[in-house]
A and B are shown apart, each in its own frame.
Chain A
Amino acid sequence: MSTTPSTQLAIETQQVTKIYGSGNTEVVAMLDASMQVQQGEVVALLGPSGAGKSTFLTAVGLVNPPTSGQVIIGGQLVLDGPTAHANLRTFRRRHIGFIFQKSNLIPFLTALENVQIALQLNGESRNAARHRSLELMEYLGIADRADNLPSELSVGQQQRVAIARALANRPSVILADEPTAALDGHRGRQVMELFAQVAHEQSAGVIVVTHDHRSLDVFDTIYEMEDGKMQRQNAAAATQDR
């Protein structure tokens, strides 16, 4: 068990590298990507397609372990290269909320049940899970669609259900991959502000991969990736530049 000197960091990655294939087919998807996200900090990750943003996000999300480098969450070394120092699935369930470009809902569960299941998997009672789920759906303006199946919801409504699910367990880390792609500008900004609010209220670290430059002012820090390499930007300058 290793811990970082600072316990204020929600997320820390140290020289995270991901290489696919070997020999002639070797592809370096991400090289020495290092990032520090404080508790309550909202980070934007920008970059063109194929830059390695999603690879980074899945490495931090403990879904796709890196080839080398360390992933430290809440001060706990979770991944040291491909070696896991914790039960990744349990860790994800307790500490990480995912939001992806596609809503990724379970088709045979209603909107409410899609949120509820995340809570019940974490040991919440059925009633408490239902109460919290409805609360979140109310907040996201989709409570009236609680009993609808995902196929009966619009793309925007599906995305908001996915956001409710990600926030359900009050995670210390929220990872979002273009979460507003399916939403209109107003709703997109609302979601970004919601992330900022959750980050501050829950002291969570939030990383958002986005192309939506209209909301960059919401972020505390901006990182940019290109050809697998990560660089920290000045948030104010980046907002002005774009």
Chain B
Amino acid sequence: MNLAIKDIRHNFGRFALTTGGVGMLLMVVMGMGGIYRGLVQDATLLIDRVGADLWIVQRDTRGPFAELSQVPANLVHRALAVPGVDTAREFVYHTIQRERNGKLLRIAVLGLSWPADKGKWIQLTAGRPLAQSHYEMIADESLGLLVGERIVLGKDSYEVVGTTHSMLNTNGDSIGVVTVSDAQAIQFDTAGEAVRLERSAREIRGQKSELASQQPALLENAAKPATELPPIARPQISAVMLTVSPGTNSKEVAKIISGWGDVSVFTHFQQGELLLKGLIEKARMQIGLFRILLTVIAAVIMALILYTMTLDKIHSIALLKLIGAPNTVILGLILQQALMLGVLGFGVAYLIGQRVFPKFPRRVILTDYDLLQLAIIVLVISIASSLLGIWKALKVSPNEALS
């Protein structure tokens, strides 16, 4: 005869409500773990998927994910000349905030090095990779853009040719992928009036210089587009990504490049570490500590619930002792109820979480490892929280059945 189940059946409504409450609490603990995991995965998603062995960034910076990094576009050709380098790609990355149909859109714009990189490494949920050098975009579903839709960024209109799922940056902004030149066009988009003013200013600066008085024809160039003026630098890129040839040690390539005075170089692992330790470390710790706190609170609440449930049965427990029930029967009654509360609460947490977490603005990732870890924690909490009730039950005298 299973006394634990008999008691639960007798007080089913109360037990169901209690289990629901514990389940909701565990769902929050589970959710915090999922948010933590989501934060880490979002942070390293790009680095992991883009498939670069080395990152060349502006000297003494920590790369485009941590801070502003600008390197000349021709760095790609310099890097390709290093022995052991297989491919070198430009990397342009910046965040924009625009309005579309009355709604704010935050897009982390990622530039692909066309034509070397057409985004075939991107996991698409619909559509195709980029097929032309301009005016095409791969957008994350969270932007609300469908394949075939168009979006105006700067002076140009971009057609969404492919969509991704949960491709977010560290801040949770959705990533939009275009070619490097389009990314730069979006980044350095300048209003027509600003261009005209700059050309006029260029002419005035020229008139003041001695060179213009010696070569008046130079002033004619002042009105030309910046791209047609050799002395004016091309727009810079954020970084250069390298892959090394098979059999080449990427650390040796990094050693060569780190000797250059204008750039710094990081391996794939170092870039990931910089992101985790630098950019999201505090958020990670905050969530981690909050999760620990919630786990402790869940344990305390479960202990109080189980203690109250034991107090409700104290007369029956005394009676069981009076008719000679061994301690194992009483211990089993409390422990089984504690485990049922924990296991069912975990189930409730999982089921509700599956429906609620996808509606969260940031990714909540429940990994098998985290779920298993939480399940073990819940079992330990269940056993630990029943100790108070067990202590009370073992202390009660059979005499109390007579009072």
- Shortest CB-to-CB span from A79 to chain B, Å, is 14
**Contact across chains for A93 and B399 when beta carbons are under 8 A apart:** no
Q: Which residues of B contact A165 (CB under 8 A)?
A: 323
- Shortest CB-to-CB span from A91 to chain B, Å, is 8
> Which 4 residue pairs of A and B lie closest in terms of their CB atoms, listed nearest first?
A93-B324, A108-B10, A92-B324, A108-B7
**Contact across chains for A93 and B323 when beta carbons are under 8 A apart:** yes
**Contact across chains for B324 and A122 when beta carbons are under 8 A apart:** yes
- B residues touching A (Cβ–Cβ < 8 Å)? 1, 3, 6-7, 9-11, 316, 319-326, 329, 397-399, 401-402
| Nearest neighbor of A57 in chain B, beta-carbon distance | B402
**Contact across chains for A58 and B324 when beta carbons are under 8 A apart:** no
| Cα(A121)–Cα(B324), bound, Å | 8
- Shortest CB-to-CB span from A227 to chain B, Å, is 21
**Contact across chains for B399 and A89 when beta carbons are under 8 A apart:** no
Given contacts A107-B10, A108-B9, A108-B11, contact A90 B324 (CB under 8 A): yes
**Contact across chains for A106 and B320 when beta carbons are under 8 A apart:** yes
| Cα(A162)–Cα(B329), bound, Å | 20
| Nearest neighbor of B403 in chain A, beta-carbon distance | A102
- Select one of B1, B10, B316, B322 contacting A63, CB under 8 A: B322
Q: Which residues of B contact A195 (CB under 8 A)?
A: none
| Cα(A64)–Cα(B321), bound, Å | 13
**Contact across chains for B316 and A89 when beta carbons are under 8 A apart:** no
**Contact across chains for A92 and B7 when beta carbons are under 8 A apart:** no
**Contact across chains for B324 and A94 when beta carbons are under 8 A apart:** yes
Given contacts A89-B326, A121-B323, contact A63 B398 (CB under 8 A): yes
| Cα(A116)–Cα(B322), bound, Å | 15
**Contact across chains for A92 and B323 when beta carbons are under 8 A apart:** yes
| Nearest neighbor of A90 in chain B, beta-carbon distance | B324
Q: Which residues of B contact A94 (CB under 8 A)?
A: 324
Q: Which residues of A contact B324 (CB under 8 A)?
A: 89-94, 118, 121-122
Given A106-B320, A108-B7, 8 further pairs, Cβ under 8 A: A63-B398, A91-B324, A93-B325, A94-B324, A107-B316, A109-B1, A118-B324, A121-B329
**Contact across chains for B1 and A113 when beta carbons are under 8 A apart:** yes
Interface pairs (8), CB distance under 8 Å: A89-B325, A92-B322, A108-B316, A113-B6, A118-B324, A121-B323, A165-B323, A177-B402
Given contacts A106-B319, A109-B6, A113-B6, contact A100 B325 (CB under 8 A): no
Q: Which residues of A contact B321 (CB under 8 A)?
A: 89
- Shortest CB-to-CB span from B381 to chain A, Å, is 25
**Interface of A: prevailing SS:** helix
**Contact across chains for A104 and B10 when beta carbons are under 8 A apart:** no
Q: Which residues of B contact A104 (CB under 8 A)?
A: 319, 322, 401-402
Q: Which residues of B contact A63 (CB under 8 A)?
A: 322, 397-399, 402
**Contact across chains for A100 and B1 when beta carbons are under 8 A apart:** no
Q: Does A131 lie at the interface of the complex (its beta carbon under 8 Å from any beta carbon of B)?
A: no
Give A41-78 interface residues, CB cut-off 8 Å to B: 54, 58, 63-64
**Contact across chains for B316 and A106 when beta carbons are under 8 A apart:** yes
Among B10, B319, B324, the one with the most A-chain Cβ atoms within 10 Å of its Cβ is B324
- Select one of B1, B10, B316 contacting A120, CB under 8 A: B1
Q: Does A126 lie at the interface of the complex (its beta carbon under 8 Å from any beta carbon of B)?
A: yes
Q: Does A223 lie at the interface of the complex (its beta carbon under 8 Å from any beta carbon of B)?
A: no
| Cα(A90)–Cα(B321), bound, Å | 10
Q: Which residues of A contact B319 (CB under 8 A)?
A: 104-106
| Cα(A108)–Cα(B4), bound, Å | 10
| Cα(A122)–Cα(B320), bound, Å | 12
| Nearest neighbor of B10 in chain A, beta-carbon distance | A108
| Cα(A64)–Cα(B326), bound, Å | 18
Q: Which residues of B contact A90 (CB under 8 A)?
A: 324, 326
Q: Which residues of A contact B401 (CB under 8 A)?
A: 104
| Cα(A213)–Cα(B1), bound, Å | 40
- Shortest CB-to-CB span from B334 to chain A, Å, is 14
- Shortest CB-to-CB span from B96 to chain A, Å, is 64
Q: Which residues of A contact B322 (CB under 8 A)?
A: 63, 92, 98, 104
Q: Which residues of A contact B323 (CB under 8 A)?
A: 92-93, 98, 117-118, 121, 165
**Contact across chains for B402 and A121 when beta carbons are under 8 A apart:** no
- Shortest CB-to-CB span from B51 to chain A, Å, is 62
Q: Which residues of A contact B9 (CB under 8 A)?
A: 108
| Cα(A107)–Cα(B315), bound, Å | 10
**Contact across chains for A117 and B1 when beta carbons are under 8 A apart:** yes
Q: Which residues of A contact B398 (CB under 8 A)?
A: 63, 89, 92
Q: Does A149 lie at the interface of the complex (its beta carbon under 8 Å from any beta carbon of B)?
A: yes
- Shortest CB-to-CB span from B311 to chain A, Å, is 14
